[in-house]
């Protein structure tokens, strides 16, 4: 990532994409955000550029034309944050509607591939660049969000393959896998009663949700020279969800005083 290039953030109008765009801009980088419904992220500095056209990551023609137009207008893309995505509905396998499956896989996996390939080929030709794909701990575990887990698992594998393909061309490709993150969408689910914060956090070793800024910190680091020897890595940012998720099968996670359910082991 170099100062005279730009960083493209897909899905940058809200959520983790917005948090990443704001943090990158605050640290002096030129940032262009795209979204299917583009709007300026809340509290974003004026230096964040919002690409005005609809950027549907699942449409090859739109991605190809959009990337070309963005580079023609703002300069070479030297960093990419692939944050565009949708979260699936919770259903049993027999109730999944294929149009819902296709939408999630098209945006979360196909979209990640199309944008990363389109940008990555250009980076490889210039012998420089860094890409961070936003995956999920859902792609590393199981749950009743079957299309989403499959798509995010695909993103993790795709990241590894792209790192191998472009490594000697000077392009690094990594992923972050957020745990349950307090985005506006997740908070709305908690506030409505559709989701339980206690249930979301009780298996996290740190006993809390992740903040979007914490995921953004990891993304910014993976784009920076400080991670210059790192490629093909999937970095969980999950407040210890993966570390703590199996403890319910035993005694459960201990509290800060070392006790479990009020009892000393």
The predicted pLDDT at position 212 comes to: 96
What is the rounded CA–CA span in Å between residue 183 and residue 205? 20
pLDDT at 261 over 90: no
pLDDT above 70 covers what percent of the chain?
A: 97
Output the pLDDT for position 55.
98
Statement: residue 264 has pLDDT above 70: no
Domain covering 6-249, topology: Rossmann fold (3.40.50)
Average pLDDT value over all residues in the chain? 94
Residues 205 and 47: their CA atoms lie apart, in Å, by 37
Separation CA 191–CA 8 (nearest Å): 32
pLDDT number for residue 244:
95
pLDDT at 88: 75
Task: For the full predicted model, state whether its pTM sits above 0.85.
Answer: yes
pLDDT by residue (tens digit) across 204-250?
A: 999 999 999 999 999 999 999 999 999 999 999 999 999 999 998 88
Q: Band of the pLDDT at 3, cuts 50, 70, 90?
A: low
pLDDT tens, position by position, 4-62? 799 999 999 999 999 999 999 999 999 999 999 999 999 999 999 999 999 999 999 99
Domain locations in the chain?
6-249
Rounded distance, CA 129 to CA 202, Å? Answer: 39
| φ and ψ of 77, to 5 deg | -85, 115
Active site residues: 148
pLDDT in tens, 165-182: 999 999 999 999 999 999
Mean pLDDT of 91-101: 88
* Helix 15-26 / helix 212-223 crossing angle, nearest 10 deg: 60
């Amino acid at each position: 990532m170099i100062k005279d290039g730009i960083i493209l953030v897909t899905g940058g109008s809200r959520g983790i994409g917005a948090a990443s765009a704001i943090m990158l801009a605050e640290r002096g980088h030129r940032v262009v955000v795209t979204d299917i419904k583009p709007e300026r992220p809340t509290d974003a500095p004026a230096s964040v550029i919002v690409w005005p056209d609809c950027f549907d990551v699942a449409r090859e023609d739109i991605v190809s034309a959009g990337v070309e137009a963005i580079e023609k207008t703002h300069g070479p893309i030297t960093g990419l944050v692939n944050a565009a995505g949708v979260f699936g509905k919770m259903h049993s396998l027999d109730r999944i509607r294929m149009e819902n499956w296709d939408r999630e896989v098209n945006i979360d996996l196909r979209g990640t591939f199309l944008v990363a390939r389109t940008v990555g080929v250009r980076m490889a030709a210039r012998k420089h660049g860094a890409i961070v794909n936003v995956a999920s701990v859902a792609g590393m575990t199981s749950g009743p969000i079957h299309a989403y887990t499959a798509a995010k698992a695909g993103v993790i594998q795709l990241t590894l393959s792209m790192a191998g393909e472009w490594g000697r061309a000077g392009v690094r490709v990594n992923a972050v896998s957020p745990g349950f993150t307090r985005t506006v969408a997740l908070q709305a689910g908690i506030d409505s009663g559709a989701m339980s914060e206690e249930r979301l956090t009780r298996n996290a070793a740190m006993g809390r949700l992740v903040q979007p800024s914490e995921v953004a910190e990891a993304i910014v680091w993976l784009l920076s020279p400080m991670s210059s020897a790192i490629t093909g890595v999937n970095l969980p940012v999950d407040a210890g969800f993966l570390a703590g998720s199996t403890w319910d099968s035993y005694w459960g996670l201990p509290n800060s005083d070392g006790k479990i359910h009020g009892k000393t082991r």
